[in-house]
Structure 1
Amino acid sequence: MESKIILPVSSFLDQKQKTVVYNISGSVVEFCPFEQSSSLLALGNKQGIILLKRTFFEIDELGDVSKLQFKERWGLKQILYVQLGARVTSIAFSPTTYTDIVDVEKFSVTLAIAAEENNAWFLKSSSESKDPKLVTLGGTSGHQDFINDVDITYINITDDVDKMVFTGDIIATGGDDCTAIVWRITNDSPQISAYSTGSPVVSVKFHKFYPRRLLVGEYNKTIKVLDWADAGGKWLIGLCLEHPLYTSVKSNLATCLVDVDWIGNKDDIGRIIAAVSNGSWFLWSFDGKNNNISAFPIVKGCIGSQANVKQIIFRPGHPDIFAICFQGFLKSSISHIKLINVFVGMDPIDIVLPLPETLKPEDSYISWHANEGVIAICRNSSLMISFSLIRFLCKEYKCILGIYNFCMRIVVRSIFLLGCHVFEPIPPFSILR
């Protein structure tokens, strides 16, 4: 397929925000979360999936002097389109995905895709292959109801007892049939392991650094961690938001869990964050080495009283910051994408859509860039790239940090002049960690 360059059709600037709009419709969007291939962007729509790659273009090609104010120049190159015949609802990149730094035309991408009609797919393509490899994950052995979420990882498994070795792609899916399924992709047909749950599964997430750990979120506000590589599968921990200790957060207990995710690093399993439909959110600290987790969240909060949350995602590399996306039928005057810093006592910051987009009663789906603090916003009528509010936060942080450092230099110098040579300053509070 011949690649084509897609340029913005409009752009919007104010003191805090820069947004470019592309004439591309979509139902779901996903930046590749791995730094080695962070220039890739997958967009699902009513019929299939488009793979896009960020490319730079000359500003004067746009023919609009006002766009000279943009330091960032985002052009998108379409490098792959796959027709699936169903509306795509979830996309996940495999860690084996990469783009070549030297040869910019060279790439290899592996995706897991979920769509309507109870189907999921394993897709593998590269710049060297003529046609992508597409494996359907469904039929009588798959989900018997709507698939809500999909994730993918790559792993080497060695079982010292059975002397079993497995190397390859692993896909997890969760659906309304109260089942989480783990698919092992082989040269033959996929091998599956199904796990029953007490209610529909709304979210499945492999841990990035400990892929044996699968986070499973259920509609009834139950959260579990599954060691799917253990013989027969082993549920490690369980949390339920119906527990009395969560009633201190003002919420309607008739609400449901909408999303759950890991926030972790290489040294530890990290944290678990979850959101329910009325705007309440919870964050737990998880000592994954000992499989210990307190029933009490370390932080909890609630956004508004009329919220209808659709999605929650944390910013890569900044585990204290996450974004919440609401349903699109809110009043046009209400921002339905908000940024929250977990450990700083400040109100959520709105991501304001351009006015023409705000007037459209459409749902949005969002994704963070792996390392640039950029958010992609996908809607039924357009794709937007917003890269201003994050920079605005950074400027505020640098300003505060600069004032702090200036004051500390004065304090240290004063203490030194008084003859005190031992001084340990108190670190400033963190807006962006």
Structure 2
Amino acid sequence: MSNNVSEENFNGIQIGSFANDNSIVGNTVRNNSNYGIFIFDLSTTNTVKYNTVSGNGIGVQITNASNNSVYNNNFVNNAVQASVETNENTFGNVFYKDLPVGGNHWSDGISPDADNDGLLDEPYIFSGGFDAFPWIGLDGWFSSLPPSDVVAPTTAVSLSGTQGNNSWYISAISVELVATDNQDGTGVASTEYSFDGSSWNLYVGPFEVTQQGETMLYWRSTDNAGNVEEVLSQMLRIDTSPPEIVIATPQNNAEYLLHQIVNADWSSNDSVSGLLSAESVCLNAAALDTLQENVHTCSVTAEDNAGNITTYSVTYYVRYVFGGVLQPINSDGSSVFKLKGSIKVAFQLFDANGNFVTDAIATLTYKKLSNSISGSQSESVITESASEGNVFRYDTDKDQYFFILKTKGLSAGTWQLSVSLDDGTVYTVNISVN
């Protein structure tokens, strides 16, 4: 029964004779001489709400009825606002619900509202019952009820990790999702995330993404009213590895000849974020530098689009062509020289094209290997003055390096002569003196 006006009768609205499960809603009941609303005769589980009951003898009377609910009504200036007869057939009748629904408005309620919550601070008590949450104002319950929640929550994503360049991370990414509902909403029920937009995972806290390359992250939240946020997404880009560098030529510790033509061969690649740059000072030319003898170090530095940088270095050596020790010394160690006299130690150096090398630096050292004579072929000594120090001189007429070794300071036996070149190589030959 709803939206009726009952006025100037003996009783306004009657619910009796085993009338059960009725709803008396939104009616105006006024100026009736006896009862505004009368619930009686074993009527049960009826609901009375949103009615305005005013100017009646008794606003609401419950007699011999049980488990009825009377709440969110305006009781205004009734001679007696409410009365519940107490007997064995009258029980379980309530005049309020839990907040925020609350109870009724009673025009003669005089308790203060110290906390300004729209409710009297003390229950409203009447004959046979009470209202635990009496509203101060007319229809006060409507102002307290939350509006209908039709707005979905919103979710913000927070990413943390080591940021590189061009929206790439060079570490794993920690993902945090923070969902909030609208101010008057029902609150966030759940947040979900997905990596394919179809298989969803319940978000329970920050999680880590380690997948290399580009990974699409999807997320959404749902509030307690069932409103589902539109799916949001963001591309996650992770590249923790530097570019790959391959130097095919020169190989590390490779040896080449002076003035040899050797074409550099190297490459760089990055399969994740892509190669941004790769450069080398000594390998950018088509041919390697073989103009100078001894050790050379070349490096390639590469950077990918994420900002990972790597450098790879190789070392190669440039050598002379050593023509071998010249006569009168046999390279097989068979030469035997007399103790009195001098020995000419000589050799020639060439480049890769067979040209004489005239500006090398060579030194001679020697050591005794044994007191026995291992050689078998007697060689002639010369009377030329011995060389000073241990550095070879260059004979431009014969295009050879030479050193005059005095045998006088040697003792009989087998000796090893060592020729050390400034290209880092050492050549040895054995002689015997007797």
Q: Same fold (TM over 0.5)?
A: no
User: What band does the TM-score fall into relative to the shorter chain?
Assistant: under 0.3
Larger radius of gyration: 2
By relative contact order (CA 8 Å, sep 6+), the higher-ranking structure is 1
Q: Which has the higher helix share?
A: 1
